Structure 1
Amino acid sequence: MEFLRPADWEEALAAKAAHPGAVPLAGGTDVMVELNLGLRRPERLLDLSRVRELHEWETAAGSVRLGASVPYATIMERLGHLLPGLALASRTVASPQIRNRAGVGGNLGTASPAGDAHPALLAAGAEVEAASVRGTRRIPVEAFYTGVKRNALAPDELIRAVHLPVADGPQQYAKVGTRNAMVIAVCAFGLALHPATRTVRTGIGSAAPTPVRADAAEEFLAGVLEEGRHWDTGRPLTPSAAAEFAALCAAACDPIDDVRSTARYRRHAVGVLARRTLAWAWEAHRARPDAFEGAA
């Protein structure tokens, strides 16, 4: 096995262009497990740990550009006020040691439906910045997942960064696992309320072949909030509306039976998580001091 270790981004792109089959190695959370278990034997590994810009982040024009290798610990400690949903998801990732090394780019590159970051990225409306020697493009995150552990990257492309809008409203995340740490999700759910556009976004993980959004649930809830003037008044949601939202989220799933859970339980659990995160997010919205300024 050949080990490629570029010193900078240009060298990394050149190496990937010359060897499209080279497997990128950053945090190594998934890649090293597969290597140690003998599940993968690539001809080449492309170590990106020395590429400085992958570990950097910046804010501009109401968005955050997050380098692919920015550790989850940094997201938790420094970006929670800007990206609350992703910060909550980061807290559920494995152990402190892994959170200090692993980043969002690894979740995206592996494209496992159980990746912890995916529901938060979907709910936030993230875009993936992919690059090659041919140029750079941005891919909406919902179009990035193309199948079980498959993504939209071309063979010569690498993930450079993720772009996320700064939260303009409450965001929530919840995960079900067999224990509280070092666990692959049985299912996970992300929710973001966007008062500025009066829209709702969701993200579901480990309950379909790819991470998915619950489109019908989003449309239903946005309609309820608009028609009932909830955005303007902050009045509580009715139990029936919350129940219907949860049912539509559960219906968006396409789960399987496996060693971690049954399909039936996953679908039920997603509905429970949807209802809980909606309650938390709506209460947070109602508690914002400027949410209803000037409301009739």
Structure 2
Amino acid sequence: MSVATRADFHRPAAVGEAVRLLAEHPEAVPVAGGTDLMVAVNYRHARPEAMLDLTGLAELRDWTDEGDAVRIGSGVPYARITAELATVLPALAAAARTVGSPQIRNRGTLGGNLATASPAGDGHPPLLATGATVEIASTSGTRTVPIGEFYLGPKRSALGPGELITAVTVPKAAGPQQFLKVGTRNAMVIAVCSFALALDPDARRLGTGIGSAGPVPLTAPDAEALDLPWSSPGRFDDALAAEFGRRVAAAARPIDDVRGTADYRRHALAVCAARALRRVWTTAHDRSPR
């Protein structure tokens, strides 16, 4: 009979102490909400030799208004993002609303979503669509990584040994945003695929984010470059929306798995992207919903 080993437990009181402990104990696994890690522990998929409890770090558990952006501490739970940031970060707040149950949203954090780096993480598409940046601390100091450079592979990120995600800075919405998620039910489900869209009418720019349809969260540059009738909004039609959907689907790199086939993911993304573009265009130009 196997005997469970006891993990060392560290509870720093400040970020400086946390990164020092990480440097001294590279085997330690940071834990905040624990909604991913503890599931793996309970199912014996992970057996950390040591844990670094981040819940006592007050500087990670708040957000600040930076003028044209919001800096969100990595320990801020999804429930607060939904309740407090929906007007300035609508796509991220919409994604936060789809995460698990109320209990999970009260515990789970955006920083944990990033650290896990699962392609299916709900927080990733809005961060890509809005051009967020990730703040990472270590004993060497702090560095900032553009969100598009953060994801390196399935559950692999730019986070190095001894480094800790401390915050995510997300530009405030410059126009309407959407987040759509496809799953086998409406709640407490891992995405079959997901899509985020941010429209900036003044800059005449689109931002995209694709989730659960590739080895990493993706953007759709060809779709973002679609020639839209910015000067004559009334010329927007379903053909343009459908073309946008096709370009988003083409940017995906899905596989067949237990949640869905690659073909279904592409189809669903095309539908979601076309729907999202119609919605943001309608909202931006005060047209009645279709």
Instruction: Output the TM-score relative to the length of structure 2.
Output: 0.94
Match runs of 1:171-186 below 5 Å: 171-186=177-192
The answer as to whether partners of 1:21 and 1:155 remain within 8 angstroms in 2 is no
The alpha-carbon deviation at position 61 of structure 1 amounts to 2.5
| CA–CA distance in structure 2, aligned partners of residues 135 and 29 of structure 1 | 28
Match of 1:292 in 2: none
Q: Structure 2: which amino acid aligns with 1:89?
A: A
Q: Offset of 1:182 from its aligned partner?
A: 0.9
SS of aligned partner of 2:136: strand
Unaligned runs of 5+ in 2: 1-6
Q: Give 1:155's aligned amino acid.
A: P
2:43 is the counterpart of 1:44: no
2:211 aligns with 205
Q: Residues 146 and 210 of structure 1 are in contact (CA less than 8 Å); yes or no, is this contact kept in structure 2?
A: yes
SS of residue in 1 equivalent to 2:48: coil
Tell me the equivalent position of 2:4: none
Q: Which residue of 1 aligns with 2:154?
A: 148
What's 2:93 paired with? Answer: 87
Task: Extract structure 1 runs of 4+ deviating beyond 3 A.
Answer: none
- Displacement of 1:287: 1.9
**What amino acid maps onto 1:103 in structure 2?**
T
Q: The residue matched to 2:174 in structure 1 has which SS?
A: coil
For the 8 Å contact 1:64–1:164, the answer to whether it is kept is yes
Q: For 1:54 and 1:287, locate their aligned partners in 2 and report how far apart those are by CA, in whole Å.
A: 39
Q: Distance in 2 between matches of 1:159 and 1:179?
A: 31
User: What runs of 5+ residues in structure 1 fail to find an aligned partner?
Assistant: 289-296
| Equivalent position amino acid for 1:73 in 2 | A
C-alpha separation between the residues in 1 aligned to 2:71 and 2:223?
Answer: 28
- The alpha carbon displacement at 1:137 in A equals 0.9
SS in 2 for 1:235: helix
Give the number of aligned pairs: 281
C-alpha separation between the residues in 2 aligned to 1:267 and 1:27? Answer: 32
The TM-score, its normalising length taken from structure 1, stands at 0.93
Residues 221-257 of structure 1, C-alpha deviations (whole Å, 9 max, x = no match): xxx22xx3x2x44325122211111001001111111
TM-aligned CA distance change 1:236 to 1:24, over 3 Å: farther
RMSD: 1.1
C-alpha displacement at 1:172, in angstroms?
0.3
> 1:138 and 1:4 mapped to 2: Cα distance?
26
Bigger shift: residues 56-65 or 202-211: 56-65
How far apart, in 2, do the equivalents of 1:253 and 1:180 lie?
A: 23
The alignment status of 1:274 with 2:273, answered yes or no, reads: yes
Whole-Å separation in 2 of the counterparts to 1:237 and 1:157 = 46
Q: Which moved more, 1:156-165 or 1:192-201?
A: 192-201
CA contact (8 A) 2:22 2:163 kept: yes
- The equivalent of 1:70 in structure 2 is 76
Q: Which structure 2 residues correspond to residues 113-128 of structure 1 after superposition, within 5 A?
A: 113-128=119-134
Tell me if structure 1 keeps the 8 A contact 2:128–2:208.
yes
| CA–CA separation in structure 2 for the residues paired with 1:52 and 1:286 | 42
1:134-175: CA deviations, max 9, x gaps? 011111111100000000011111000000111110110000
Residue 220 of structure 2 is matched in structure 1 by: 214
8 Å CA contact retained: 1:118, 1:205 = yes
| Identity percentage of aligned residues | 55
Structure 2 contact 241–275 (Cα < 8 Å) conserved: no
Identify the residue that residue 245 of structure 2 maps to in structure 1.
246
Q: Determine the C-alpha separation between the residues in 1 that align with 2:166 and 2:55.
A: 13
Partner of 1:53: 59
The residue type paired with residue 257 of structure 1 is D
Q: State the distance in 2 between where 1:174 and 1:155 align.
A: 34
**Conserved? CA contact 2:89–2:172, under 8 Å:** yes
Aligned-pair CA distance for 1:197: 2.1
Q: Say which SS state the counterpart of residue 100 (structure 1) adopts.
A: helix
What SS class does the counterpart of residue 136 from structure 1 fall into? strand
Q: What is the rounded CA distance, in whole Å, between the counterparts of 1:143 and 1:197 in structure 2?
A: 23
Which amino acid letter does the alignment assign opposite residue 253 of structure 1? A
In the alignment, the residues of structure 2 paired with residue 21 and residue 159 of structure 1 have an alpha-carbon distance, to the nearest angstrom, of 16
Quote the offset at 1:195 in angstroms: 2.2
Q: Distance in 2 between matches of 1:14 and 1:91?
A: 34
